[in-house]
Amino acid sequence: MTASERLGASTAISDRRLAALPLLLSVVAGLTDVTTFVLLHGVFSAHITGNLVVLAADIAAGRPMGLTGLLAIPCFVVTAAVVTAVTTRSTRPASDWAGPLLIVQAVLLTAAAAVGIGCTVSARPDSAVGVVTGLLAVAAMAVQNALLHVVFAHSPTTAVMTGNVVGATVAGVRLLVRRTTPVPDPDRDAWRRTWPLIVGFLLACLVGGLACYAVADRAAALPMLAALAVVVFFVARPTRVAPRR
């Protein structure tokens, strides 16, 4: 094999792994979101806008607002802002931040699992331990979302599935009813890019939910293990990332 052939093979492998990253992160997001929701009694960590709905419902019903849900929104914003500021001011190419940010996500989820499991957080979700566990998970999801926006030029969201469902629906209907097929085909690309994320997130939520009811707080280890697997897959075997333009 010539040097150019070896380079082509290496790039193809990197492209395949890079294409799989949003799908794998959607699994991490689904596991994280459902475990915090069940174990912390209604706190979203990935679908962060869900906390706005819960807070509004609590206010309307005259119920006390959960501290974790209240702090989740500013925690998410501040974490994403810090990641953006650090990567923007850095002299390193944006693509070089993929590995470090995946590691940060894994560290935060490991800390959340350690606190949640070690302190049986489901028994006291409104305690300081519950707040710490929830905010660690929220920060991890903020890092994940910032990674996709900062490091990659184009990527669908891995956490909030509403946009992906709409995008997949629009692309699917256009594929079915249109009379001509353009080249390149943006609808086919959008369909292929979004539907795996929806399935991955949904299956992860089902697995995480079942685990919460089967093994209670120990289910918090699932997001940690998934995040560590992503680190091993992408950091132990470095991936060429197309820099943001």
Segment-wise mean pLDDT, segments of 10 residues, the chain, 245 residues: 37 58 92 95 88 86 85 94 92 82 96 96 92 96 91 74 85 86 82 87 95 95 96 70 53
Please state, in angstroms and rounded to a whole number, the distance separating the CA atoms of residues 224 and 212.
Answer: 14
- pTM score, two decimals? 0.86
Record: fold of 18-234:
Growth Hormone; Chain: A; (1.20.1250)
Predicted pLDDT at 106: 97
Are 198 and 91 contacting, i.e. CB atoms less than 8 angstroms apart?
A: no
Predicted pLDDT at 6: 36
Predicted pLDDT at 10: 35
Are 235 and 140 contacting, i.e. CB atoms less than 8 angstroms apart?
A: no
HSE value, Cβ hemisphere, 13 Å, CA-based, for 101: 27
Q: Domain residue spans in the chain?
A: 18-234
Predicted pLDDT at 117: 96
Coil, helix or strand for 159?
coil
Structure tokens at 27: 């699994």
Structure tokens at 83: 């990641």
* Cis peptide leading into residue 184 (ω within 30°): yes
Residue environment code for 182-221, b if the CB has 16+ CB neighbours within 10 A, otherwise e: eeeeebeebbebbbbbbebbeebbebbbebbeeebbebbb
